Amino acid sequence: MKLKTIFLFGMLLGSPMAMAEDGNAKAKKESAKEFVARIEAQGQALAKEVEAAYWVRQTYITDDTAVLASKAGERSLAFSSSMVEQAKKFKGSKMDTNTARAIELMLRGSSAPAPNDPKLQAELAAVLTEMEGKYGAGSYCNDQGECRELQELEAVLANSRDYDELLDVWKGWRTVSPAYRETYQRFVELGNQGAKDSGFKDLADAWKSNYDMSPAEFTVEARRLWDQVKPFYDELHCHVRAKLGEQYGEDKVPQDGPIPAHLLGNMWSQTWDNIYPIMEPHKGVASLDVTASLKDQGYDELQMTKTAEGFFTSLGLPPLPESFYKNSMIKKPRDRNVVCHASAWDLDNGNDPRIKQCVEINEEQLGTLHHELGHIYYYLMYKDQPSTFKGGAHDGFHEAIGDTIVLSMTPSYLKEKGLIDEVVESEEATLNKQMKLALEKIAFLPFGKMIDEWRWKVFSGEISPEDYNKGWWELRKEYQGIAPGVERSEADFDAGAKYHIPGNTPYTRYFLSFIMQFQFHKALCEKAGHEGPLHECSIYNNKEAGAALGDMLAMGQSQPWPEAMQALTGQRQMDGSAIIDYFAPLNAYLKEQNKDRQCGWE
């Protein structure tokens, strides 16, 4: 899942150097407000051009589209660098509140800040294009000559229970990433140079500067949130390890150590819901086989997408524009390589929102569609904001919206949509549903936290290039309690097997979103007048909740995120307590199951 929108301020005409010189000359004569207006107008045009080039690159991977995307990226990086240099001159000047906010946002760190040197800008654009392309075109061929792409490999991880087959597929996908390990090292060097040229200590400092607090304060805040939910994760880990020991044998799953990474039903062990059949507390009670219903009823990619849209429109939010269905890619083409990783795009200032997703007919993909449409509806609702304010209150907000909606896909909702036959209300049914959701949501939390922990250490130099893989697995063991099922070395680049590393997408946003979606859900349920346990609430068809959500989305990033948080929830702080509230029945069950077990890992 990825929000794919590159917020660009730039000019369309002239070379990058000429544009910078012209912009600097104008900056000497214009006020801060005039500067913001000029940059916004020019940036809109350039953003449309660059996004189109990147869209074609991801939906048609060839050497030619690599050239187009790289050159477009070079242009955006060049003017981004110039914009930052010009914006610096207005720091400390007297200006109105909106202009001050716009200048502040311009000076924040991007995921790949451009060095001031035009040659390095060109190299950075090429490096980013190369890594993403190699990932998208990756496949694994086994000893029998059978070659499979990522989606096919993921299906094996999800469905097989053969230890050796799982390990082979897990190892196989990780043969793709060593090809760009050295390229990634060069990206780090270029990104750090760009961060320093933009006024930051390094790229880690730049990434942590985007949350209306200092990087040091944000580090503490992220740790506080993790500490709120870690005890629940530890209980889940202990129970999952015990059940996997029963499934595969305690010789393969030692009960005092980390879990082998290839046994958790997901290529990256980020979510564990595919092993729910092993973990189901009460066998056969209140089966929620949505995948079977989707297939039995003949759902296709379009109908699944329209089902997701229908939830948002039931809240009183507007229907998607016709262009969305005309321009989106929701089915994997047969005639070319594409990047199948799902993402949402805002190609023309809110006028051409679209998604890129190789939709498969299953429950997980239906949830992903809701997630991606969360981004799309954010675009649509802040469409009328000035360009500088088009964005989530912070990036975690953007990721949380669609997943907040998914929490309302309760058994009652699924029955109303004809995707299950009956709603079973019992303690056993509740535990089954909560176990399935916790294997997705709670299992994800440490993974969402550790990816950027690794990158921050890489960017700062705490993890050296010679220790990329060592540092990666140390953090995975520390946070997740998992380990590779086979020896790994520095010839490998296991971090790069996850799209967001070569795709250079910051990941803390997902960790924050998995915290905030429960906080949002609780607030929206209160606005909808829900009474009863939080896990039974669905805001489907509730216009009051929809209005509150729409009003918050329309704020974009025009104000610091605590203002948006307060507008929706009445709180000014991110808070993990709603997770504990939501999963109270399962938490009690896990503690009972684990009372005689040795939990934790060395």
The two beta strands, 147-149 and 139-141, are antiparallel
pLDDT of residue 107: 87
Active site residue 530: no
Burial (CB < 10 A; 0-12, 13-18, 19+), residue 89, is middle
Question: What whole-number distance in Å separates Cα of residue 408 and Cα of residue 532?
Answer: 14
Residues 6+ apart with CB under 8 A from 220: none
Q: What is the pLDDT of residue 287?
A: 73
Q: Are 342 and 368 in contact (CB under 8 A)?
A: yes
- Check if the beta carbon of residue 111 is closer than 8 Å to that of residue 456: no
What is the structure's pLDDT at 81? 82
- The per-residue pLDDT for 221 is 96
**DSSP letters of 89-109?**
TTTT----HHHHHHHHHHHS-
Catalytic-role residue among 371, 394, 398, 521: 371
Tell me what pLDDT residue 28 has: 54
List 51, 123, 235, 399, catalytic entry: 399
Specify whether the CB–CB gap between 124 and 114 falls below 8 A. yes
pLDDT < 70: residue spans in the chain? 1-28, 109
Please tell me which residue in 222, 342, 548, 564 is annotated as part of the active site.
342
Cβ pair 520, 400 in contact under 8 A: yes
Q: Residues 540, 413: contact at Cβ < 8 Å?
A: yes
Burial class (CB in 10 A: 0-12, 13-18, 19+), 201: middle
| pLDDT at 193 (0 to 100) | 96
Query: DSSP characters for 285-304?
Result: TT---HHHHHHHTT--HHHH
66 is a catalytic site residue: no
The yes-or-no answer on residue 372 being catalytic is yes
Which of 510, 540, 582, 589 is the catalytic position?
510
Is 563 assigned a catalytic role?
Answer: no
- The pair of three-digit structure tokens given for residue 364, joined into one six-digit string: 């997980």
Measure the CA–CA gap between 173 and 183, rounded to whole angstroms.
18
pLDDT for 73: 86
Q: Which of 341, 394, 521, 535 is catalytic?
A: 341
Tokens of 367: 């949830």
Alpha-carbon distance values, 91 to 34, 55, 433, 463, 511 (Å): 15, 35, 52, 34, 32
Which position among 301, 372, 440, 453 bears the catalytic label?
372
3-state secondary structure at position 139 = strand
Q: What pLDDT is attached to residue 11?
A: 26
The reply to whether 521 belongs to the active site is: no
Would you call 342 a catalytic residue per the annotation?
A: yes
Annotation says 500 is catalytic:
yes
